[in-house]
Structure 1
Amino acid sequence: MKALSGIPTIIIAAMLVLAGCTADDDTSVQIAEINGQGVGLANFYQYLEQVNPQLEYAKLPASEQERLLNEYASQRLFAARAEKQKLDKEKATQARLAFFRQRVLAEAYRQSLIDSIEVSDFEIETYYEENKPLFEIPAKYLIEHLVYREPESAIYAQGQLRDGRPYEDLAAQKASDTTLVFVERNQFSEEILLPKLRGPVAGLEVGETSEMIYTSYGYHVIRLAEKEDAALQPLEEVEDEIAARLRQMKSGQQLESIVNDSRTRGEIKLHLDSLRAEGAL
């Protein structure tokens, strides 16, 4: 594969091999060379893990795979040149490195705490029973929707639909009927509909046509083609989600307790007066 423009010292290789590899593959597999130094597959996958833990690299288009590898190689190249110029010794750079190191370590500690928390089946079931609205799947409506500029046209369409005329016949008139400004046949949950349409749609039985409804978009006529009733997700489908929520809640409480205990023991002392004296507050 040819070197990518703008980075003449980088040799990009083995893109096809990458598509079938995992992070556990042999680290001797080199996927790039930067200034003559080989870059292993494992290092690249570690980089991708930081960019997006959900990323499935092997499923990306070849152009996107190449872009990500080029981006990684560029970053390695620029970092190496920064070290060569001793930019890592500059005070501002060291401050940023220290900041990110501290933040990464703090997040690692929080995550280790979350991972260590056990959640019982009883806690999961109790949370589910007490928070069922969180796990409701709203009703969905498949509507046949026509919007007209003039009320007379909407009333005519309403009558046609109620007499059993296929929606498709009326929708096809959009090309020639200048009063017909919008047509759609689509499925929606109630909250996605325009506020003025929610009540009328929810009140329809399958096959029924609404009264004419006016909004700033025009005069609406809607027929309900299908309806999926609201449902509650089974516990077994959401128990992992609930366990994660409970771990987050418990970890938040534990972290707050750790900070409070550290203050009590004098491990944390805040000197706001010193900040005020320096004019920082």
Structure 2
Amino acid sequence: MPRRSPRTAAEMRWAASCARASRGEKLTAPGGLIYASADMRSGCGALLVAMLALGACGKGPPEATAPAEQRALKAKADTAPGEVVATYQGRQLTTDQVRQEMERLPAPSRAYVTAPERKRQFVENLILNDLLFDEGKKSGYDRDPEIERQVSDLRKRLVVQRVMRQYQTPPEVTDDQARTYYDENPTLYSTTQIHASHILVKDEDTAKQILAELKEHPEKFADLAKEKSTDTGSAQKGGDLGMFGQGRMVPEFERTAFALQVGQLSDVVKTQYGYHIITVTERKEGERKPFESVKEQIKATLRNKQLQDQMQGHFDALKRDAGLKLDEAALARITPPAGGPPVPAGGH
């Protein structure tokens, strides 16, 4: 159950796509760039093909490219606009087009293609991408319903990303607001560590029933965690989360856990994951960090929270205006496809 991230859903999908590409899995990348499978990644050319696919992910929103790098690339482009670097099948590939594709690569990959041989391989791969696309069209793959569906899905994701960027302007946070947050959260920003366990369930009534039983029989915590907790990552260990310091858990969980004494049971705690009951089995006291040393960190936390609240408010309004209604019974009957071990509800 790591700290809540300010990433948007669209950005998460970008990260997931990049991870799939790095493992050599099939990736539909923006611009139709080809991907590298696991048995292709041994040579220089194959590595560059993989980098092409990853570059589409690594770029993300246009703002991800550093301004200095953008200026440098533009300056180079201005020196030789439209210079033809390759011809094939009556077509031309210009230096500007090559630089545009290089801009799509993440910074480390751009550095990789500065060597002459790697630059040549990069250009050849761009051309091969075109030639393979031509070959695919001759086979009718461009009219394949599955490919058309993936293109439609990609178009939708890109449009959603563009909309989401409108809601990603971080609000201003003052020193006074940061100081107030620091003062109101005395357990935060310290070197104190705790060893905690928890039981996570989906609804509040179930959590209250478990808490009532634990108050009568606190020794049953581990057994009830194994039996009831939906956080499969810790349930099999009796709810044990191990030793951790500040910043590892979502704020609601963290505030409660660090306020507990050893052996104490929490009340029911609600987070984005569900309803928790927490207990602390060990505590190592530390010193609280001075305000000035954590001021910027606090401001970032508050900006992210305000941004998330604004976005959540917009999402709620969209769902309300759309008249969204969920059939809980039908939802319960949906069985996700099998695909590896279960993901813990707490996000471990």
TM over 0.5: no
Which structure shows the bigger proportion of residues in strand conformation?
1
TM-score band w.r.t. shorter chain: 0.3 to 0.5
Q: TM-score, normalised by structure 2?
A: 0.36
> Which structure has the larger Rg over C-alpha atoms?
1
